[in-house]
Structure 1
């Protein structure tokens, strides 16, 4: 995989926080985490201020923990599946020996959800490891996206012994805790467990005040605060700043007057420069010296942050180098309250300056998020509309779309360039049904004076090309799609722009879909030639090359086809390096290449190309390519005399055709092979009794029951409150366990096993 430039925030979020010198060791709470090594999941759940992160950091550094600890600190910006799993998989890859780049590459491949390829690949690699690790997800309560919880449930359902998961948050994660608890696969630590004992309270008070605090005083404070770590810390600071040690402190637990107390007893007592730094940077989730200097227009912030850390003032480092810090959640709330009261409007200015700091370092997602939080919706939109290539290069188109969805519809409607860029991003990432709504916002506001998108001659050309693809792929209106695509080609005449390639690729694709392949050849050749000359990102190049390969194959132009495969080799290599070969255009290319090898009489080479093509088409849900690849594979098997294998491929192809709309040219090709095979794609008769080797999970059984009906995968997902990609993920595992490849065979096999 090509080297990726990492944000400093990524590095800070991927390390176990250091243990503060003098922190109270709580071995009694380490024990469940150590002894719970056999459970798949441990949850540490309590409100703010109960010491969850401190406990887990101490446990992670405990010599008694012989497993490797992999840590990811989460924040609000991670509430999107691709971004969340990018952090997790990148951290696992760095910390766990034996893992490859393949899971991360599969995740970043445009058009795939985590459960399509990344998580199954990760689980396979983990199963081969002999080492053991624990993945800690801190502040999981900040995540609300259903796709994250669905994919996490999927991971936990198939987790091998090499990995266990610890989740820390303020409330229970929306995961099947009851099921895990019933199966003795859950370890739980809650507020009642995290409360400090009298002895622990005395140790904490003595450490913070730097004076001996007896157990009587500690007992009074412990009772007053109910063992709440943050309350004890506040009491200790009060003692340290007064001459008496009578237990004066917050007069209640965590729910009363805490913000006022923090302001009066901590914030207002700080020196002016220190107070100014903390109060004015309160909107920022993590702090470092250069960032604070930039947003405050000052110098020396790194030294001030270091002093806060050493003084136990609710500011803690998040990396061993102590370059990045975070404020305790309650303390940050108090700082934010002071900022809003004393400096109205300053929060937005700080967020905007921080956005500029990140954007100058090419951390686009962070910059956009900060501008949105600052209320600068237009500024966020300006960045988004010009950065499709940035997100495309990094395999983060889902993040681009997620950020666009955070903007109010009025903001997008007012900027047709932004709406078109989001529609284009949706098409590139395989989210075809999202293209239309974005285009509907843009098209009424586009005229000949509209400024063009970066890389395009005209905005109308970009919108027309994207609409043509949406009409052909989503609506199935090839006549309208061809008309729009031809118009887009006329509007994009500059061969040195991305728009030239995209418009011609779309037109060529529509011509192939309409079975007008001879007309498609020169258009696709033009697109491919321009893509090569511009050295465009592999995804765009492979799309052009794959359409050209289909057109050449269907028109029998073997010599140009061989030249194409020689030319496209470096692009395929680049895609394989970046995404492990998991890119949609490659499925079509491998299918055509396999058919060419078959025509040359090399059945082994044809099979070696067609089987990966089938798997890629399954992964990306590319029904026309899947049917074409399966039909080609069936022909190879027929020529080798393996009629059962051929019929198995044809059964899957026929099921795919019956389950959804397929282009007439594809259906016709399938019928041709079916006639040759005797048009009897049925299950092999006889054979040994079927045996279920691996038990089905509850989710798999629910999916299996749903497969017996006529509902589509999308409808099954809706009935089970799962996304279609998560349903597909469970179905893939279900098929593997049953030893089948199709839905019909899964139902038949399940009935034979008495599962239905």
Structure 2
């Protein structure tokens, strides 16, 4: 189905192929509610007549929803277009875009969201609450279940109307008009008597009563979400689809015109589910074959997104990977992160190892905060990665792919800042960061490690390079991370960070996926520190899942929180940081930060901690590296110093700290031999 036809079909009520029973009573209830309510909920099971009742009332703007509309970019594009307020410059799916819609809605406007039960994305629910609270819109939601919206205030103020199954039930007068006709297309009242046996009834008494050729045709037609003559001829291998569709149209057998022009059709939802259930239980191989055929037909016709979904449902992962590889860049640049997430999650590890896709999607997982998926994909592609590293390109002995940007996260999260910084330097020195996105993410990752290591000025300098990498303004997620790094480094140096805070807030409003504390930790910490209640806000961030698995950032956030608490709460957070630091092989400057916080909250510094008050800034930096497993020559390379300068600094540090060598600088270990130079 062409994109324009698909959008048009979603933005109008279904075109019925059989006359509907008039429901003036229900239309009057809806009209009355629209005059006094901000939200109208129409709740009832499948087949209870919700869509039919709303289409007869015909209030104005309309969006029919399905599973793909859990993508906030798609969802809000449809809403904006339905309301006639499209064209806002803010990215669709962002809070700023929703705020712009709210400001441009005309008083008295009504929007119907049909089949809202498909929407499970918490971000869309939250943004719909924003729209309800900020606009004069009357929102009508038709759903099988009550949506998880914050409607308490509307209920208390009398601006919420709920019409349920009892309101949808046919009255005695309406039932008399129905007569012997038990079933009505796209809203059949027989649900009252069937009590959940709709599938059995539809298959045995509706589908089962048809001629054999129509039965076979409908079993195939139930597989794609929508179909036309060309698709059905391809799937059935015959040329009589036009004739069969004509017969179904004449008999009004649960057929809906999807485009209103008589080309594209779909089966009524309950009927389609019943037929799919029959296929799944009696002919699963046939179901798989039809899905594969439909995927290839849609791919040839240019509808790659429909093809991806069908290929995944058929278990045709190789074909799905090929399509996703072709579409990844375009969908990512369009902000379709949630749709990509849904498709990529369906791929097994075996489909990733031999594909480029497995090496290209890591950026997506980190932006979505799906770090377990990122790690799974890194593991699944590790063999391919090692092969690429062992066969470097000519002239580049350290060939590293763009996925190395996200591999940098792993040593840092596991407490090895030394390795994280070293790998980061390798990556920044390579010539393979060829896109602004990859180059920016590499700098963000290395700047984060530098900040945690205590090298605040170096972190700021690296983050400051990001804007020049882009031909225009960097995208919102990149700006959030950049301003967060700059601002938090300034805060730790007791400098003014107001501009960075403003930059973070402005960019957050532009993000299509709301940032989390794990996705962009510095930015979220900076916002918490600049709030009226920094201690409570920081504690809230630390409650988010994942901080305990990120050893360095978890320790760092706990130490910051300890600075904003009174004893004994501060000592509790300090103990939490100590527990994380104890498992870090190379925490570098986090040890000094821990000691500073311990002194500030009145907690005695443990005997294993090293006093560093007499060391210069340069000596402190060298000390961080001396605690690592790097050789002195490697430390010199990392710090851009000569080997003799490093040796001189090492001797001075040993003398000032009254130790005899590097072993004594690593109190948690014993028996380490002095690395050779």
Alpha carbons of structure 1 residues 465 and 267: separation in structure 2 relative to 1, 3 Å: same
Question: Which residue of the other structure, out of 106, 115, 118, is the alignment partner of 1:130?
Answer: 106
Alignment-derived partner of residue 292 in structure 1: 232
Q: 1:467, CA displacement in angstroms?
A: 0.9
SS at match of 1:326: strand
Question: Which residue of the other structure, out of 290, 295, 308, is the alignment partner of 1:355?
Answer: 295
1:55 is the counterpart of 2:53: yes
SS at match of 1:166: strand
Deviations 1:215-269 (A, max 9, x none): xxx2xx58xx6xx7569979xxxxxxxxxxxxxxx99922486555544554345
SS at match of 2:194: coil
Deviations 1:336-371 (A, max 9, x none): 355457755111111112222333455444333222
Alpha carbons of structure 1 residues 652 and 302: separation in structure 2 relative to 1, 3 Å: farther
Alpha carbons of structure 1 residues 297 and 23: separation in structure 2 relative to 1, 3 Å: same
Alpha carbons of structure 1 residues 165 and 650: separation in structure 2 relative to 1, 3 Å: closer
Alignment-derived partner of residue 465 in structure 2: 548
Please say if residues 483 and 523 of structure 2, whose CA atoms lie closer than 8 Å, have aligned partners that are also in contact: no
Deviations 1:615-636 (A, max 9, x none): 2355557564689999xxxxxx
Q: 1:649, CA displacement in angstroms?
A: 6.9
SS at match of 1:43: strand
Q: Distance in 2 between matches of 1:451 and 1:274?
A: 59
1:74 is the counterpart of 2:48: no
Question: Which residue of the other structure, out of 139, 145, 156, is the alignment partner of 2:115?
Answer: 139
Deviations 1:20-54 (A, max 9, x none): 56322211101111111122222222222222111
Superposition pairs of residues 258-657 of structure 1, within 5 angstroms: 259=199, 261-263=201-203, 265-299=205-239, 301=241, 304-305=244-245, 307-340=247-280, 343-361=283-301, 363-384=303-324, 387-408=327-348, 410-411=349-350, 418-429=357-368, 435-443=374-382, 446-448=385-387, 461-472=401-412, 477-488=416-427, 493=431, 501=439, 505=443, 509=447, 513=451, 515=455, 547-548=464-465, 564=468, 568=470, 570-572=471-473, 582-585=476-479, 588=482, 613-616=503-506, 619=509, 620=515, 624=522
Q: 1:449, CA displacement in angstroms?
A: 6.2
Please say if residues 262 and 334 of structure 1, whose CA atoms lie closer than 8 Å, have aligned partners that are also in contact: yes
1:32 is the counterpart of 2:29: yes
Q: 1:275, CA displacement in angstroms?
A: 3.3
Question: Normalising to structure 2: TM-score of the pair?
Answer: 0.63
Alpha carbons of structure 1 residues 339 and 266: separation in structure 2 relative to 1, 3 Å: same
Q: Distance in 2 between matches of 1:263 and 1:358?
A: 28
Q: Distance in 2 between matches of 1:73 and 1:264?
A: 29
Q: Distance in 2 between matches of 1:451 and 1:362?
A: 39
Question: Normalising to structure 1: TM-score of the pair?
Answer: 0.57
Q: 1:75, CA displacement in angstroms?
A: 2.5
Question: Which residue of the other structure, out of 129, 148, 169, is the alignment partner of 2:143?
Answer: 169
Q: 1:656, CA displacement in angstroms?
A: 8.4
Alignment-derived partner of residue 603 in structure 1: none
Q: Distance in 2 between matches of 1:231 and 1:465?
A: 51
Deviations 1:640-673 (A, max 9, x none): xxxxxxxx97989999899789999xx9xxx9xx
Alpha carbons of structure 1 residues 311 and 137: separation in structure 2 relative to 1, 3 Å: same
Q: Distance in 1 between matches of 2:366 and 2:526?
A: 22
Q: Distance in 1 between matches of 2:275 and 2:360?
A: 38
Q: Which has the higher helix share?
A: 1
Please say if residues 293 and 300 of structure 1, whose CA atoms lie closer than 8 Å, have aligned partners that are also in contact: yes
Deviations 1:373-408 (A, max 9, x none): 213345434544564323222211232223222345
Please say if residues 127 and 160 of structure 1, whose CA atoms lie closer than 8 Å, have aligned partners that are also in contact: yes
Q: Distance in 1 between matches of 2:534 and 2:188?
A: 66
Alpha carbons of structure 1 residues 519 and 331: separation in structure 2 relative to 1, 3 Å: closer
Alignment-derived partner of residue 595 in structure 2: none
Question: Which residue of the other structure, out of 165, 181, 196, is the alignment partner of 1:191?
Answer: 165
Please say if residues 12 and 324 of structure 1, whose CA atoms lie closer than 8 Å, have aligned partners that are also in contact: no
Please say if residues 298 and 304 of structure 2, whose CA atoms lie closer than 8 Å, have aligned partners that are also in contact: yes
SS at match of 1:571: coil
Deviations 1:521-577 (A, max 9, x none): 8xx8xxxxxxxxxxxxxxxxxxxxx65258xxxxxxxxxxxxx5xx95x523xx7xx
Alignment-derived partner of residue 578 in structure 1: none
Deviations 1:276-330 (A, max 9, x none): 3211121222223333333334446456445533432111123333433221233
Alignment-derived partner of residue 600 in structure 1: none
Alignment-derived partner of residue 135 in structure 2: 160
Deviations 1:121-145 (A, max 9, x none): 4245424543432222222233444
Please say if residues 49 and 188 of structure 2, whose CA atoms lie closer than 8 Å, have aligned partners that are also in contact: no
Question: Which residue of the other structure, out of 88, 101, 110, is the alignment partner of 1:101?
Answer: 88
Q: Distance in 1 between matches of 2:53 and 2:140?
A: 12
Please say if residues 289 and 301 of structure 1, whose CA atoms lie closer than 8 Å, have aligned partners that are also in contact: yes
Deviations 1:152-186 (A, max 9, x none): 44544x2532x122222233334456765444232
Q: Distance in 1 between matches of 2:308 and 2:444?
A: 30
Q: Distance in 2 between matches of 1:391 and 1:330?
A: 32
Alpha carbons of structure 1 residues 264 and 96: separation in structure 2 relative to 1, 3 Å: closer
Alpha carbons of structure 1 residues 189 and 586: separation in structure 2 relative to 1, 3 Å: closer
Point out the structure with max Rg over C-alpha: 2
Superposition pairs of residues 688-703 of structure 1, within 5 angstroms: none
Please say if residues 12 and 61 of structure 2, whose CA atoms lie closer than 8 Å, have aligned partners that are also in contact: yes
Alpha carbons of structure 1 residues 322 and 518: separation in structure 2 relative to 1, 3 Å: same
Alignment-derived partner of residue 597 in structure 1: none
Alpha carbons of structure 1 residues 159 and 286: separation in structure 2 relative to 1, 3 Å: farther
Q: Distance in 2 between matches of 1:142 and 1:270?
A: 31
- Where does structure 2 lack aligned partners over 5 or more consecutive residues? 487-496, 510-514, 574-677
Deviations 1:580-633 (A, max 9, x none): x644337848999xxxxxxxxxxxxx99x8785242355557564689999xxx
Superposition pairs of residues 227-246 of structure 1, within 5 angstroms: 229=184
Q: Distance in 2 between matches of 1:372 and 1:510?
A: 37
SS at match of 1:53: helix
Deviations 1:69-117 (A, max 9, x none): 3222222344x3xx1x3333112222324454245x152xxxxxxxxx4
Deviations 1:713-756 (A, max 9, x none): xxxxxxxxxxxxxxxxxxxxxxxxxxxxxxxxxxxxxxxxxxxx
Q: 1:468, CA displacement in angstroms?
A: 0.8
